[in-house]
Each structure stands twice: as structure tokens, then as C-alpha cells.
Amino acid sequence: MALWKKIWSWVTTLGAAVIVSSLIGIFVIQPYRVEGHSMDPTLHDRERVYVAKWPHTFSEYPDYGDIVIIDSRVDRSRSLGDDVLENPLLQLIRPLNDRVFFIKRVIGKPGDVLTFKDHKVYRNGQPLDEPYIKETMEYESDETWTVPDGHVFVMGDNRNNSEDSRMIGYIPLDHVLGKMIYP
């Protein structure tokens, strides 16, 4: 009987640890790995970053220039179930097959008017000072982007090699999964 008590004690302790670490990963902090070169030179391919999840948990808007993790599947709504199933512990059991999480920089918030001319980004008529970008942006457009309520506009620092809001559109606030806090 004493052996079963020890086994039960170990099982319940391990179960509690899994639950607590899952809750921390869903609501507080989570590691991500950079995939690709869209954030060069700020972040590099395969680099590990840590992301604060509480802005997502409390639906807080990120600040201009914040580096965020986004769910690029903007054509579908998200739920708490997505957050649970995307937890790193569950990814060990059931990994996502497609690359859906992008790491990008916040360029526009609701109401901002963005234009792309002279190889620069203009927000509300003012050119952005962007010392973090890799090289001069080749992209220019006659289109004007006005960020709608409940959304943000994101871009990679490697503007010439980044799939971002210019391609996938505005990012709903609930698709901003967290804000990078380290490195």
C-alpha cells in the first residue's frame, strides 16, 4: 500500500506541475523560436525569444515599435481553445504542421494612416525613423492604409524579405499573441 501512495503522490505532483506550467505558458510567458530572416538584423533565424503573454490575455494594444508574435491566420477567429492547443507542452504531442506564427514589429495602431513612398513608411504623414531596418525598403505603393479599430499593422525589419501586413492585411488584436521581452 505504501508503494501506491508514493506513486500517487508522484503522479499528482507531476500533474500539478504540468497544469501550472501550461497556465504560465498560456497566460504569462512563453518561448518562441524565430523562423526565417524577416526580422534581420534585429533577430536571427532559429534565435530563441521570450514573449509576455499578459498583453494578449488582457487584450492590451502593443506600443509602436514593439516586437510581437502574431497568428497570421487573420481570416479566422481565435478562441481560448487555440491558446490552450498552441501551448508548448501540447506541441510536443501534437505539433502544428504549418507555419502560422510570425514575429514582427508594430508599425500602426487603430486610426493610423500608413503610406509607403520614397522607400519609407509614413505614419499619419510623418516618415518613421527606423534605425532597426536591414536596408532601404524597395516597396512603394499609391495605396493608403488606415488601420481599423481592433487591429494593428505589422512589418518585419527586413522589409524586402518579410511576409507581413502588406500581404496578409491588418492583424486583429486577438491575433497578437504576445510581446517580446527577451532578448
The set of catalytic residues is 38, 104
List C-alpha distances in Å: 144 to 12, 15, 51, 173.
Answer: 57, 52, 31, 21
Q: Which residues pair with 101 in a beta bridge?
A: 71
Cis amide bond preceding 62, omega within 30? no
Q: Which residues pair with 176 in a beta bridge?
A: 70
- Of 75, 38, 80, 46, nearest to 177 by C-alpha is 80
